[in-house]
Amino acid sequence: MKNCFEIKKMYLHYGEFLALKDINMDIKKGKVTAFIGPSGCGKSTFIKSLNRMNDLIEDCKIKGKILFDGKNIYKDYDVNVLRKKVGMVFQKPNPFPMSIYDNITFGPKTHGIKKKSKLDEIVESSLRDAALWEDLKDRLDRSALGLSGGQQQRLCIARTLAVNPEVILMDEPTSALDPISTLKIEELILRLKKEYTIVIVTHNMQQAARISDQTAFFLLGEVIEFDETKKIFSTPKNKKTQDYINGRFG
Ligand SMILES: Nc1ncnc2c1ncn2[C@@H]1O[C@H](COP(=O)(O)OP(=O)(O)OP(=O)(O)O)[C@@H](O)[C@H]1O
Ligand SMILES: [Mg+2]
């Protein structure tokens, strides 16, 4: 199985504060990888590093290597090319204050696609992939802000798919959603993994167990254990992992 990301001896500082320590991880292509761990342990910091979202934070310093498709994300990629290949969906649905159609075509247009027929095609296929086409096809010109929270989050996933990425990073994508919308996103993730590599941060253990192939347990900026999800949840090697998944802390 080919690796999508290879992280080697990565350290991340915010100013003097060491937020990630000696991270070593291979994230497999075409799989779902989950990051779990208590609040403040560095999950968001780490997932954001994978498409260089931390570049925007002034006193953030990264050491070590992050390889994507075998190439260094800092040295061998233009950041815009990297972010096109590695899309991101956030905790709170954040559609742009514009129509559903324009939300989806925003990315493709910035990448130079102008033809109306091509844009129409992208809108339909992205919404289909995000299981929204049937719901929304008759109101593409309406504001995205009028959608329910669950629909907004699926629209944000559709918007990410519209630029044809290889990887989708998701930081707690269902934490603001009701249980039914959460299940819809989980089903969506399971379908999407046939074509994309997915990395997801979640506080929901059942969710990690249901949808991921590999799980990393973070604690205080370190990866305590990283293994097949089955093993993490049935026979974790580390006592701290065991305690966390059994709800004994965090
Ligand atoms: N921009 C920043 N500047 C300084 N410190 C930061 C910054 N962002 C995060 N931190 C610190 O880094 C540590 C890890 O934060 P991070 O947001 O990655 O945790 P998390 O595991 O995602 O937590 P949660 O589960 O609550 O979302 C925390 O101590 C946090 O206060
Ligand atoms: Mg977080």
Q: Is the pLDDT of residue 249 over 90?
A: no
Contacts of residue 52, defined as CB under 8 A and 6 or more positions apart, other chains included, come to 73, 74, 79, 82, 83
Kindly state the DSSP code that residue 145 receives in the 8-state scheme: G
Q: Which pLDDT value is given to residue 250?
A: 59
Ligand 1 pocket by C-beta < 6 Å: which residues? 14, 17, 19, 37, 39-45, 57
Q: What is the pLDDT of residues 138-147, one digit of tens each?
A: 999 999 999 9
Q: Is the pLDDT of residue 4 over 70?
A: yes
Ligand 1 centroid – CA 221 distance (Å): 9
Ligand 1 centroid – CA 40 distance (Å): 5
CA-to-CA distance for 80 and 167, rounded, in angstroms?
14
Q: What is the pLDDT of residues 93-123, one digit of tens each?
A: 999 999 999 999 999 999 999 999 999 999 9
Whose Cα sits closest to atom 6 in ligand 1?
Answer: 14
Q: What is the pLDDT of residues 14-32, one digit of tens each?
A: 999 999 999 999 999 999 9
- Determine the residue of 10, 21, 45 to mutate for testing ligand 1's pocket, defined as the one with the most ligand atoms within 8 A of the Cβ atom: 45
CA-to-CA distance for 249 and 21, rounded, in angstroms?
21
Output the pTM of the full model: 0.95
Kindly state the DSSP code that residue 142 receives in the 8-state scheme: S
Q: In what order do the strands lie in the sheet with 3-14?
A: 17-28, 3-14, 60-68, 71-72
Ligand 2 centroid – CA 3 distance (Å): 24
CA-to-CA distance for 200 and 217, rounded, in angstroms?
12
Q: In what order do the strands lie in the sheet with 214-219?
A: 86-89, 167-171, 197-201, 32-36, 214-219, 222-228
Q: What percent of the chain has pLDDT over 70?
A: 99
User: Which ligand sits closest to the CA of 54?
Assistant: 1
- Determine the residue of 12, 41, 55 to mutate for testing ligand 1's pocket, defined as the one with the most ligand atoms within 8 A of the Cβ atom: 41
Residue 70 in tokens: 């075998």
Average pLDDT, the chain: 95
Neighbours of 193 (CB within 10 A): 17
